[in-house]
């Protein structure tokens, strides 16, 4: 009996020591950058300059770069590329697409973390492969999620700008998801994301799942139920970004002043927030969205703070 008790004690002590050694997850505070491919850099640059100049940024602030805005001495992706830094400190990056463009033009989503090296060790301890990717540095690295999307982590060098004091910021990025369970195991179980809101075109269906970062208010959006043979336009609608604005009507007025001539109209979405869908020259959707809902959302309640509120 004494031997049995001693063995059990050893097992308990080993389990306790193992639990103590488990690495804590570093904070993930929001989206640091989103990168897209572009098949026509001149027209794309003109489009995005009109969109982001609602911040009052002069057009010559849109820079052609020969250095990666994310990390490394050389561009992370094919160059030339165009980077616009929003007043939130986030980067919107366009890179010249390969001669045969991929069906998905969303290249990478980069998250801000307070300790990028600790994040790398944390993911390695969770058996997540850390590939050797050009552009990796002490302040940035990237991995591939279960759906094959490139996900980066960047050292947060200063406190994130509150959306309430910023005219515009990237509040979410959406992408097609085929296997929600696999994505949940990665984003929810390992990275600590949680469901912020979910809904669909009908009250009893779920086509969109918003997964909010654990230590901020930005989110990613699973785009579910997308046909395997979806065409180029549909994929452009699904693989998208949203730029948060305090007032959708003021943002639309500024777009018109910037010579945007689209026919899209602002509307209240199923999530209860005002939105305006724009499309870049490659049919990639750029969604302008108000930070907070105007009316009660369909399908589910919000479970986290909105941009501009404390997480």
Instruction: Measure the CA angle with vertex 142, ends 139 and 148; round to 5°.
Output: 165
pLDDT bucket at 158, cuts 50 / 70 / 90:
low
Query: What would the pLDDT profile of 244-276 be if each residue is shown by its tens digit?
Result: 999 999 999 999 999 998 889 999 999 999 999
Of 94-98, 121-125, 145-149, give the lowest mean pLDDT range: 94-98
Looking at mean pLDDT, say which of 76-90, 94-108, 288-302 comes out highest. Answer: 288-302
CB 139 within 8 A of CB 109: no
pLDDT value of position 84: 83
Position 304 in a domain: no
Same domain, 234 and 136: no
Least trusted range by pLDDT, from 53-57, 139-143, 154-158, 199-203: 53-57
Domain boundary among 95, 123, 155: 155
Instruction: Kindly give, in sequence order, each residue whose CB lies less than 8 Å from that of residue 166, ignoring residues fewer than 6 positions away.
Output: 86, 87, 88
Please report which confidence band the pLDDT of residue 160 belongs to, taking 50, 70 and 90 as the band edges.
low
Q: Please state the domain count of the chain.
A: 2
Q: Is the residue at 267 inside a domain? A: yes
pLDDT at 58: 42
C-beta contacts of 137-143 below 8 A and 24+ residues apart? 137/71, 137/72, 139/71, 140/70, 140/71, 140/72, 140/110, 140/116, 141/71, 141/116, 142/76, 142/108, 142/110
Q: Do residues 139 and 92 share a domain?
A: yes
Domain span holding position 137? 28-155
Q: What is the CATH number of the domain that holds 215?
A: 3.10.180.10
Mean of the per-residue pLDDT values of the chain: 85
* CB of 130 closer than 8 Å to CB of 65: no
User: Are the C-beta atoms of residues 28 and 215 closer than 8 Å to each other?
Assistant: yes
Question: Does 150 share its domain with 217?
Answer: no
pLDDT tens profile 2-42: 454 444 444 444 444 444 467 899 999 999 999 999 999 88
pLDDT of residue 161: 52
Q: Is the confidence at residue 85, as pLDDT, over 60?
A: yes
Same-domain check for residues 131 and 211: no
pLDDT of residue 83: 81
Q: For residue 8, tell me if it sits in a domain.
A: no
Residues 198, 151, single domain; the answer is: no
- Asked if 105 and 218 sit in the same domain, the reply is no
Residue 242 domain flag: yes
Judge whether 16 lies within some domain: no
Per-state percent for the chain, helix, strand, coil, to nearest 5:
25, 30, 45
Whether 308 maps to a domain, the answer reads: no
Residue 5 lies in a domain: no
Q: Is the pTM of this model over 0.75?
A: yes
Same domain membership, residue 128 and residue 55: yes
């Amino acid at each position: 009996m004494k031997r049995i008790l001693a063995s059990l004690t050893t097992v308990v002590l080993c389990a306790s020591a193992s639990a103590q050694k488990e690495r804590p997850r570093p904070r993930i505070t929001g989206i640091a950058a989103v990168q897209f491919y572009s098949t026509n850099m001149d027209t794309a640059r003109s489009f995005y300059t009109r969109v982001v100049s609602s911040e009052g940024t002069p057009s010559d602030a849109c820079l052609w770069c020969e250095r990666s805005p994310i990390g490394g001495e050389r561009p992370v992706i094919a160059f030339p590329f165009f980077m616009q830094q929003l007043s939130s400190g986030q980067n919107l990056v366009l890179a010249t697409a390969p001669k045969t463009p991929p069906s998905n033009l969303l290249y990478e989503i980069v998250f801000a973390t307070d300790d990028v090296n600790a994040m790398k060790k944390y993911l390695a301890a969770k058996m997540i492969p850390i590939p050797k990717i050009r552009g990796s540095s002490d302040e940035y690295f990237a991995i591939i999620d279960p759906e094959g999307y490139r996900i980066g982590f960047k050292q947060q060098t200063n406190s994130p700008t509150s959306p309430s004091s910023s005219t515009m910021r990237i509040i979410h990025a959406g992408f097609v998801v085929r296997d929600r369970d696999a994505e949940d195991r990665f984003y929810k179980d390992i990275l600590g994301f949680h469901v912020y809101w979910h809904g669909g075109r009908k009250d009893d269906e779920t086509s969109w799942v918003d997964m909010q970062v654990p230590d901020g208010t930005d989110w990613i959006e699973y785009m579910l139920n997308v046909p395997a043979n979806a065409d180029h336009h549909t994929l452009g609608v699904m693989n998208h970004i949203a730029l948060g604005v305090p007032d959708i009507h003021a943002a639309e007025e500024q777009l018109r002043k910037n010579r945007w001539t689209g026919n899209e109209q602002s509307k209240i979405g199923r999530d209860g927030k005002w939105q305006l869908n724009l499309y870049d020259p490659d049919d990639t959707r750029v969604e302008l969205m108000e930070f907070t809902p105007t009316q009660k959302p369909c399908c589910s309640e919000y479970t986290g703070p909105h941009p501009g509120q404390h997480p």
